[in-house]
Amino acid sequence: MSPTKSPSPVSVDVRGVRKSYAGHEVLHDVTFTVQPGEIFVIMGPSGSGKSVLLRQIIGLERPDGGEILIAGLNASAESTHAKIRTGLVFQSGALFNSLSVFDNCAFYLKEHRLYDKATIRDKVMEALRMLSLENAAHKSPAELSGGMKKRVAVARALVMEPQLLLYDEPTSELDPIMAATVAELIATVREETHLTSIVVSHDRDVALTIGDRVALLMNGTIKALDKPSAIRASKDPVVCSFLNPQIDLNNPRFRKE
Amino acid sequence: MKINREMVESIGNGVILLGRSATHLPTLPRQYKRVLEQCLQIGYKTAPLVFILCFCIGGVLALQVGDGFRNYGFKQYIGSIVGLAMVRELGPVMAAIIVAGRVGSAITAELASMRVYQEVDALRTMNIAPERVLVLPRLVAILLTMPFLTIMSVLAGWLGGALVAQYEPSIQLDYSTFFQVMKNFVKVEALTDGLIKGQVFGFCVVLICCNVGLLTKGGPREIGHAVTRAVVASIICILFLDYFVTKAIL
């Protein structure tokens, strides 16, 4: 793929963000900064608020407290996402079921009239080829497996040539080879386009391999934030327990809880 | 109290949705394919159902009126009753109810499913307003197709009434008398009133169904609930509006 070079990578400032649903606080005073061009990985157990945090950053929801700035602009404002090209790879794919794989990927470029038809076709087919999806271009999303849908979602986001790209569990439901391919892709695209990437992932290997920095989000707060090497070497029992969970058949966790 | 609040919120959301959709009117020319597709769904595919329903209603109306009138020697006036009832009232109302049941339910189901399965969120993350690509083409399509559906419903009702009046042994009123008397009573104003009603009802049905669909949260069960809610709200809205629009144009 030969993506257009982004105008400039953008920073993301998350400052004291709080979010509650029906009185239950999902995010509590979450603060961190993502540097321009960085791959920032957010890890954490299920239900820790990772996807909710992504929804606040992309502007789908407003935080109850605190603020999120993308290149100094309020992430909750629609105008910010009009000025700065942002994208999100949804965990479920969120493909448009009424459109073919090709049309799903071309939708953004067509709607914003960014290129002529031939260029759009070339860009989409190149993205599909990178993810081994060229033979699925004319299939409908209903005909795809879960892993294929995920790859189409990644391809669709890449075609958008965003300055800030958020990935919600990009490697879940993928086989190890395809998960590695997607991880390589995330890193390669960053190198070529200098876009800023925020990746939410359970995949420890992916997170610690591609991330410039890794944050561990637990119970709505950041428990650890450091470079992968430091996270790996951490002696913090919470971090160690999350990264290296021991399977103890004689003393299972659900009995302790 | 909660129901009142929900109702006010829904009306408010509907007004906001309409306002947001209207801001995208300049994009309409480049969305002509979507509008045509919706015209096909809303108009062409709904027309047979509208025809069958109104044909039957016209026939039954002629039968009812004929049965009452023949004893008093007024059977030649069946055409006027059927003609006026279809054009002023039954045609637009029945067409709108069919639109609510067939088109409105489909719109709500589609948009609610897009909402539940995050397709609407995906649109927003692409900086594409759902109002522009999902709502505006449907609103324009109903405005374009509703006059045809209303006219078809009226004509089908007249045809059904005329056939029953001619061939029902207890009535036996020939076509020419049926339509001649109808012509004396049904003026152009009655037809325009019917068309205005049809436009108002159809537009409100599509707006309500889009609004309910886009506000759906939860899972597959909520999609079903949303469809029921949208169709019920649409039909109630048609019946209430019918009174006020009739009063306004009389």
Mean pLDDT by 10 residues, chain B (250 residues): 78 94 94 94 91 96 88 85 94 96 96 95 93 97 96 96 92 90 90 94 97 93 95 96 92
| A199 touches A210 (CB < 8 A) | yes
Does residue A113 have a pLDDT over 50? Answer: yes
| A23 touches A64 (CB < 8 A) | no
Size of interface A-B (CB pairs under 8 A): 46
The interface predicted TM-score (ipTM) is 0.86
Q: Inter-chain contact B126–A111, Cβ cutoff 8 Å?
A: yes
Residue A107 neighbours by CB under 8 Å, 6+ apart: A96, A99, A156, B126, B128
Does residue A2 have a pLDDT over 70? Answer: no
pLDDT on residue B2: 66
Best CA proximity match to A169, nearest among A206, A120, A220, A224: A206
pLDDT on residue A177: 85
Q: Is A128 on the interface with B (CB under 8 A)?
A: no
What pTM, to 2 d.p., does this model score?
0.88
Does residue A158 have a pLDDT over 80? Answer: yes
Residue A60 has its nearest CB partner, among B117, B119, B124, at: B124
Q: Range with the lowest mean pLDDT among A52-61, A182-191, B17-26, B90-99?
A: A182-191
Structure tokens at B159: 């045809």
Q: Inter-chain contact B119–A94, Cβ cutoff 8 Å?
A: yes
| A225 touches A214 (CB < 8 A) | yes
Q: Tell me, what amino acid is at A222?
A: I
Tracing tokens 């449907």 back to the chain, one arrives at B138
Total H helices, total E strands in chain B: 12, 0
Does residue A154 have a pLDDT over 80? Answer: yes
Three-point CA angle B107, B111, B113, nearest 5°: 120
Q: List chain B residues with CB under 8 Å of A94.
A: 117-119, 121-122
pLDDT on residue B1: 61
- State mean pLDDT over A193-203: 88
User: Looking at chain B, which residue has its C-alpha nearest residue A112?
Assistant: B128
How far off is chain B from A98, nearest CA to CA, in Å?
Answer: 10
List, in sequence order, the alpha helices (H) in B90-135. 91-98, 105-116, 119-125, 130
Cβ neighbourhood burial of A139 (10 Å; 0-12, 13-18, 19+): middle
User: Looking at chain B, which residue has its C-alpha nearest residue A99?
Assistant: B119
Q: List chain A residues with CB under 8 Å of B133.
A: 111
Round to the nearest angstrom and report the end-to-end CA distance of chain B: 35
Round to the nearest angstrom and report the end-to-end CA distance of chain A: 49
Q: Is B218 on the interface with A (CB under 8 A)?
A: no
How far off is chain B from A187, nearest CA to CA, in Å?
Answer: 22
Q: Is A164 on the interface with B (CB under 8 A)?
A: no
Which helix (H) or strand (E) segment holds residue A182: the answer is: helix A176-193
Q: What is the pLDDT confidence band of residue A3, given thresholds at 50, 70 and 90? A: very low
Q: What is the pLDDT confidence band of residue A253, given thresholds at 50, 70 and 90? A: confident
Burial readout B175-202 (b: 16 or more C-beta within 10 A, e: otherwise): eebbbebbeeebeeebbebbbbbbbbbb
Separation of alpha carbons B237 and B14, rounded Å: 13
Residue B125 has its nearest CB partner, among A88, A92, A96, at: A88
User: Looking at chain B, which residue has its C-alpha nearest residue A79?
Assistant: B127
Q: What percent of chain A has pLDDT over 90?
A: 56
pLDDT on residue A1: 46
**Mean pLDDT taken over chain A:** 88
Q: Inter-chain contact A90–B121, Cβ cutoff 8 Å?
A: yes
